[in-house]
Amino acid sequence: MSPFEIIVIPALSDNYVYIARDTESDTTVVVDPGEADPVLKALDNHGWSLTHILNTHHHGDHIGGNEKLIAKYNATLIGPASENDRIPQMDQTVVDGDLIDIGGHKGLVLETPGHTRGHISVWFAESDALFCGDTLFALGCGRVFEGTMEEMWTSLVKLRSLSPTARIYCGHEYTLSNAKFALSIDSENSKLQNRVKDFETMRSEGMPTIPSVLVDELETNPFLRADDPILATTMGMAGADPISVFSEIRRQKDNF
């Protein structure tokens, strides 16, 4: 089976919606359609019809297009069991460890609470693709709205343990503002400096910075490095436990 063909669709002000397509099985899944119109347009352009919708969490900028897309295609809506009361029209609810099957492509469900209490990420190993909504961003992570700092850190550690080649398809283009913050607390990191330059070029050419690759995030994303003694020392928190360091990074970013 060949990997999914994945298309990046900018939506709303800074969201990304993803279409993953498998030609052999004529399967097309959209991930987190915050609005329907750009998705309808992309599907029409390619001559594809939608078979599945996958939601990572209940926020409007991730599910706002569901209703219209279901009305047109009768697509199967898959989402987190623990947000069943907050995402209307779900056909299939999933929990941690479930393997979903989309046209023969197996997606491993990882519960990644923190941003919302029922947030999930889905890992398609054969396509090297991680859909992680508002949990992990390029050089950043989601705001902790509903879960605890410990939950969010645990969620990020879970994602961090996936294949280093994992391509990270996240919910927003927040990369440059994340970069500014990352540099403010980790200014001597030359890998980070180089990535930021690349990202600035991409954005000045109107290109998405997504997908980001996990191996690059491991060395440059401060939120994945809360247990790295070097970063803790840089932050004046040598010896502190990872959850305290993570909480401090998140707190500083919230006020940045």
Residue count, binding to Fe ion (CB under 5 A): 3
Catalytic residue among 32, 115, 119, 186: 115
Chain length of the chain: 256
* 113 versus 171: smaller Cβ distance to Fe ion: 171
Whether 52 is catalytic? no
Mark the segment that binds Zn ion (CB under 5 A) among 4-12, 40-48, 55-63, 183-191.
Answer: 55-63
Shortest gap between Cβ of 62 and Zn ion (angstroms)?
Answer: 6
Among 22, 35, 83, 134, binds Fe ion (CB under 5 A): 134
Catalytic residue among 59, 105, 119, 216: 59
Shortest gap between Cβ of 67 and Zn ion (angstroms)?
Answer: 18
Shortest gap between Cβ of 132 and Zn ion (angstroms)?
Answer: 11
Residue count, binding to Zn ion (CB under 5 A): 2
Instruction: Give the whole-angstrom CA distance, residue 140 versus residue 221.
Output: 6
Residue 246 CB-half CA count within 13 A: 24
* 134 versus 248: smaller Cβ distance to Fe ion: 134
Interaction of residue 134 with Zn ion, rule CB under 5 A:
yes
Mark the segment that binds Fe ion (CB under 5 A) among 46-54, 128-136, 183-191, 211-219.
Answer: 128-136
42, 31 Cβ separation under 8 angstroms: no
Whether 59 is catalytic? yes
Among 59, 105, 160, 225, binds Zn ion (CB under 5 A): 59
168, 132 Cβ separation under 8 angstroms: yes
182, 135 Cβ separation under 8 angstroms: no
Instruction: Give the whole-angstrom CA distance, residue 155 versus residue 218.
Output: 14
Residue owning tokens 């909504």: 133
SS3 readout for 199-250: HHHHHHCCCCCCCEEHHHHHHHCHHHCCCCHHHHHHCCCCCCCHHHHHHHHH
At 95 the three-state DSSP class reads coil
Whether 119 is catalytic? no
Q: Which residues are tagged catalytic?
A: 57, 59, 61-62, 115, 134, 172
Q: Which residues bind Fe ion (CB under 5 A)?
A: 61, 134, 171
Q: Which residues bind Zn ion (CB under 5 A)?
A: 59, 134
